[in-house]
Amino acid sequence: MRNDAPRTKSSSNIRRNLTLGVCGLCLCASAICSAQAPPADFPHFAVPGHEPEMDALRNMFWKHYNGAGPGPTLWDEWIPGPTLWPAVSSDAHMVEIRDLWSRALSSRILDNEGYVATHQHPSIAHPLGWPFPFWSQGIGGVGWHFSFRETVGPPWRPETLNDVKGWELAGASNLGITADGWQLQLDATGARVLTPEQTIDTFQSPFLQLRWKAIGLANARPYIEWATEAESGFSEARRMYFDPADPGAITLTLIPLYQNPQWTGKVTRLRISFDNPPASTVVIQALFTQYDTRQNVNNASFIDGCASVFDWTGNVEFLRLNIARIRTALSYLMNTQHGKESKAIKTTWVGHNGRSGITFVDGKKVLISGQGIGDNYWDLLPFGNLDAYASMRYYAALKTVAHLEQEIRLHPAWKIEGPAKTLTADRLEAHAEEVKREGNRLFWDPITERFIACIDTAGQKHDYGYTFLNLEAIACGFAEDRHAQQILQWIKGERIVGSDTSTGTDIYKWRFAPRATTRRNIDWYIWSWNAPESIPWGDQVQDGGAVLGWSYHDIMSRLKVLGPDDAWNRLREIAFWYAEVAAAGGYRKYYDGTRPGHLQGSGTPGGLGLDREFTESILLPHALLDGFMGFDPKSDGFAVWPRLPKEWPEFTIDQIHWHGLVLSIHATHKQIEISRTGGSDPVQVSIAGRKPITWSGDLPLKAQL
């Protein structure tokens, strides 16, 4: 990027009201904790002879459904579907859930490049990224905070404020520090402020954030310059421009210093030039360096969430409003994240090189501050560089957008303009197959016969037996058939990987899900998680623990590869476990120390992810609808392909809210019957993979399987 590039290209101003308070997760968590018995109009799962298991799964569904809704972007892939289909008219929050999702996804921030913001809880980390790490958690960054007004509290920022000792002013007067920050009167044109001397490691400081407000800079082109150990002066080559602040509110200005090739090595001092007319005023709340905490899965999650909302609601206006954003989000993955060129996601953000922040020299642990920053849900693990998890999600996003573009082409009445040639449905489908082939070549380990996490910039592959990655790869179609078979043989304990810590039946020690990992990991983490060996195996979710939600991918994978009987055997065991949990008084009472396992949640570390922030737990019972019933929502209809285990004589699900209809589906091994309320418009229905038929709705739809 050029140093004199237009300021709209060289910085980002983030309004505080968009940065803070955007996560509904706390509301969801508290509602889940207080969940009662499901209301009468909540969907029922009915299988004669298996009433206890179905009741347990229904109660589990309600526990995690009650109060659930939009949260951070990371969960957009998982939460919309399970929350959109239950027709619960007795609960006011659930009546509004479709509008809530439409508004949340339509409000997701996309930056100038097309990156989709994380929308997690606030901190002083990258405002569009994950809330940690931030500058004071490492060695080599720097920060000055003159006010904490409207700033998140500890531990998400330092506890003490700074003074202005060592700062120098030119053409400006010091008006003192108030509750808002450091007040400056800019007396002369082109006033400047110079920071104290302090060594800044540029690897630890790819961004600089300035929190400030200004009066009189509306037409200014402020910029920052820096001196280095090698060059003590300032120059245009070491300069980056940024946008002027708002006059009335603190503005979060993010300056991507890493984009300037001269931002390298050790920096010794910073100088801000305001490019101001006389008699301007500035308030500096804070100036600090910033790690790059963006997440490379956000764009795919946003895309999948938008598709879910559209398919379940049929809201064409929502699609019309968001299709350009969807295309931009996918283009970012294709271009900036190198998906098109590499046929895999290659993350080149600073600190995301796939390498651990923990290393050993002569047997002594050494921390590499700034290295090992996470990219996804598993925020302590250094996925990055050539990233298998992100590539799998990229593949799914390509398939999703290809489906949307095909629907847009087939429905000219929607009045949505077609995509660029590079984003047509045919090209996206072809590219998705390229990504699948390359991913199965690049990330498949022929020795352990499973997918690895990533390949770092040193060419090293990282594999600790990631069941969550491998099962989702099967469920979304990323894994080739032969690889899917081998993965399930390993996870079911039928195939032993000699290097693993957990093998055989121990993989399902926690009963409700396979261990998230099957090999002990005390080496491969972000630098700030620097004593993993101090925590016993299984007492962290990312090291031998388990997460309930990811059993969804286990069930869906077994259905796809091994059939409904195998999938039901696994799901039934989970239902039995949940009935025990409910009888004990819930998760927290069940895992109260009287049996193995410690829950994680609300700041408490542990190995089992079930409640509180683990809102993805809602996924598991959802497998009854889109797995065993095979219900697939579409823009103008739906597909149903029931897959009943042999011991189920029949299966019924009611209260299915699709578009404006409420459906009830009853299936046996030989036939299916669908009834509906709420409208008589024709609906296209595909049964068991056959050509769609038009259903007017006057009578129940009956068909042979």
pLDDT digits over 464-493, tens only? 999 999 999 999 999 999 999 999 999 999
The sign of the CA dihedral 373, 377, 383, 385 is negative
State residue 25's pLDDT score.
33
Looking only at the bridges linking them, the beta strands covering 683-687 and 637-640 are parallel
Span 629-705: which CATH code? Answer: 2.60.420.10
Right CATH number for 7-17+121-290 from 2.60.120, 1.10.3470, 3.30.565, 1.10.3210?
2.60.120
Residues of the chain with CATH 2.60.120: 7-17+121-290
pTM of the entire predicted model: 0.94
Q: What is the mean pLDDT of residues 41-51?
A: 97
Query: Which of 219, 224, 287, 276 shows the shortest CA–CA distance to 252?
Result: 287
Residue 158 scores a pLDDT above 90: yes
Query: Which of 321, 427, 285, 336 shows the shortest CA–CA distance to 103?
Result: 321
Q: 540 - beta bridge partners?
A: 543, 544
Q: 143 - beta bridge partners?
A: 288
Looking only at the bridges linking them, the beta strands covering 608-609 and 546-547 are parallel
State residue 605's pLDDT score.
85
Q: Is 646 helix (H, G, I), strand (E, B) or coil?
A: coil
Reported confidence tier of residue 552, pLDDT bands at 50, 70, 90: very high
State residue 95's pLDDT score.
73
Residue 7 scores a pLDDT above 80: no
State residue 234's pLDDT score.
96
Residue 299 scores a pLDDT above 80: yes
Residue 6 scores a pLDDT above 60: no
Between 86-90, 160-164, 317-321, the lowest mean confidence (pLDDT) is in: 86-90
Q: What is the mean pLDDT of residues 255-277?
A: 97
Rounded distance, CA 177 to CA 38, Å? 55
Rounded distance, CA 62 to CA 58, Å? 6
Task: Report which residue type is found at 254.
Answer: L
Q: What are phi and psi of 313, to 5 degrees?
A: -100, -25
DSSP letter at 543 equals B
Residues of the chain with CATH 2.60.420.10: 629-705
Residue with tokens 């790869």: 473
Residue 18 scores a pLDDT above 50: no
